Amino acid sequence: MSIGCCIISTMKTSEGKITFIDLFAGIGGFHLALHNLGAKCVFAAEWDDKARETYRANFEKVEPSLFLNGSFATDITKVPASSVPSHNILCAGFPCQPFSVAGQKLGFEDTRGTLFFNIAEIIKEKQPDAFFLENVRGLKNHDGGRTFEVIRATLEGLGYSFYCQQVKASDFGLPQHRPRLFMVGFREDYNELFSFPQPVPLDYRMKDVFEANDVNKEIGFTLRVGGRGSKIDDRRNWEFYLVDGELRRITPKEGKRMQGFPDSFALPVSEVQAMKQLGNSVAVPAVQMTAERIIETINLHRRQSVLV
């Protein structure tokens, strides 16, 4: 069984092509989700060479123009915000860094020296309709909660609304807990209210991932980047399962299914690298269902603007 059955159907926008940029892009979970919705990626940035290899292998045929004229950047800190193409949605699964705040003003200037500053600078310069950010759930309490407050205050200070919700992959059709923090906001001229999608029933379980009759867990462990090799009875174990009575280790095939990537998604790297890349990625259906609501809000705003 392919995880493709868990991804919601493609939604084409009737009001024109939605464009997005993909920052800290990894292997392209955001790209896949928004492409499934009919949106076009006009700029991406990822510094890791192996992740860039996987990204290119899967999206160069889909968006060939993205890989021309510097539109697939390596280091976002070296890209002037003014040179980033205009876009409707800024997407970023950004690294979490502590902010050293002199005076604790909790604003745009306080983010200097962090990778989040590059996101804020692009938003300030390009004024996209919306942003969609993803991070670990611990961001809310990171550095005593100050990191999250700087992020929220910065985005609101740039003239955007701010919606935040913790989501789990298992609430969006995937047999993996993977709690993550989603942050969404719209430019201040938007009057439309946004709401995150409601969870959907889980009808795809670990036995479907392994194509087996019986697995010792219905919902799998959250895929991780490190800590491989712990025994199945170790509390740190995240990769071993009892499958039809036999001990089996998650491979990239199962990892793709647990994250919502289709079986056809290419991982032209070693197995160790592939598992690292999947552990660093996003749960595609959770991103896609949220992005669908963002696009609906943008299209509603477009229709309302025409009527005014």
Indicate which residues carry an active-site annotation: 96
Roughly how many angstroms between the first and final C-alpha of the chain, as a whole number?
49
C-alpha distance from residue 122 to each of 143, 272, 301 (Å): 25, 34, 22
* CB-CB contact of 258 with 176 (8 Å): yes
Cβ proximity of 38 and 298 under 8 Å:
no
Kindly report the length of the chain: 308
Compute the distance between CA of residue 281 and CA of residue 275 in angstroms, rounded to an integer.
10
> Is the CB of residue 185 less than 8 Å from the CB of residue 163?
yes
The C-alpha atoms of residue 66 and residue 63 are separated, in whole angstroms, by 6
Report residue 245 CA to chain centroid gap. 35
Cα 85 to Cα 101: distance, rounded to the nearest angstrom? 31
Beta bridge partners of 187: 160
Instruction: Put the strands of the sheet holding 72-73 in their side by side order.
Output: 72-73, 40-45, 19-23, 89-92, 130-136, 179-186, 163-168
- On the 0-12 / 13-18 / 19+ scale of CB atoms within 10 A, 11 is middle
Contacts of residue 222, defined as CB under 8 A and 6 or more positions apart, other chains included, come to: 169, 176, 177, 178, 179, 238
User: What is the phi/psi pair of residue 108, to 5°?
Assistant: -55, -45
d(CA 178, CA 222): 5
